Structure 1
């Protein structure tokens, strides 16, 4: 079972110095899971790198997950737009246009509240980070597991991101989005 490393602090700088030190001290960084807690905001992340062997090609991934206040009614999903999506749109697949040409072109967007999502993605830092990670999936959705039902904000990418600066940028984007979502309640 993977060890969950937990980090708390009074500032993001303090926390991410701890994360960087801990990740650097790992002998082989093939998988890493952490909970980063700043004030009342918890964001989990994990990276996984399986090199495969023999004829296997290996897989890698990075996932972030953060619980969202229960009262938030917004739901959305953004994922990279590919040729299959173009076919799907031809047959009526949902793809909301937010009015940000670069975002609208890069992602298939599904949401129950287009105007709210447009406002949420208006932050230039969030906007640019999404464009830097076009192959990601960003979702605000309901999740259920053994402990019950909760609403979560997730970021996932089929790439093991091990660069601390990149991990922190993604964390910062999610932290910003969570702060904005709390204002919606």
Structure 2
């Protein structure tokens, strides 16, 4: 881990009243931010493909799902790691500029349209240089499949994001999405999913 990585997560924790956790074993340092009984976790992850590796920035929010709602939103010019979610289909939300910029997949068209009618959420998504946001049933995006009803709201991007203001923008986006998911009754209140992330990446 570089000194720069350490300082970024420590500084980000200080500026957001989050908790800074130092690296341990092969796990990255990270910032954890409590929000509405959930943890928003920022860290770096090394993704291996054969003998080659790529460092990713990721954001993870574990939660217990009420309705198994899943979606994926990513830039239209990107090739998705997984082209289709289980049962997911391409969705158009009726906002021409947004529909042109992003590929949207979901297993509940009404809910994803409701989520993306929120102008704050759309504006925060559009303000990002790159976007890959999803709700999935994979731990840490690339790890093992989670137990039934346990899901993660997540974001990932190649490389290390070292812009504090951009990280704050992503934090605001995640808070807005979490609020919307609670309003749509997609997240179980007082979720116990976070207990498995006391040592995220274990």
Do 1:48 and 1:160's aligned partners in 2 also have CA atoms closer than 8 Å?
no
TM-score, normalised via structure 1 length: 0.67
Note the C-alpha offset of 1:44: 0.8
Change in CA separation of 1:84 and 1:143 when aligned onto 2, cut-off 3 Å: closer
Give the match for residue 163 of structure 1.
163
Q: Which has the higher helix share?
A: 1
Check conservation: 2:61, 2:152, Cα contact below 8 A: yes
- Equivalent residue number for residue 15 of structure 2: 16
2:184 corresponds to which residue?
Answer: 184
Corresponding residue for residue 129 of structure 1? 124
1:123–1:16 distance in 2 versus 1, CA, 3 Å:
farther
Q: Following TM superposition, by how much is the alpha carbon of 1:84 offset from its aligned partner in structure 2, in angstroms?
A: 6.5
**For each residue in 1:97-141, what CA deviation from the matched residue of structure 2 results, as whole angstroms up to 9, or x when unmatched?**
111212211111111122211111222221122112252211012
Q: How many residues align?
A: 157
**SS of residue matched to 2:124:** helix
CA distance in 1: counterparts of 2:69 and 2:184, whole angstroms: 9
Larger Rg: 1
For residue 138 of structure 1, the aligned residue among 112, 133, 136 is 133
5 Å matches for 1:25-174?
Answer: 32-47=29-44, 59-82=54-77, 94-144=89-139, 145=144, 148-149=147-148, 150-174=150-174
Structure 2 regions of 5+ residues with no counterpart?
A: 22-27, 47-52, 186-202
Q: Structure 1, unaligned stretches of length 5 or more?
A: 8-13, 24-30, 50-57
Kindly state the Cα deviation for residue 165 of structure 1 after the two structures are TM-superposed: 1.7
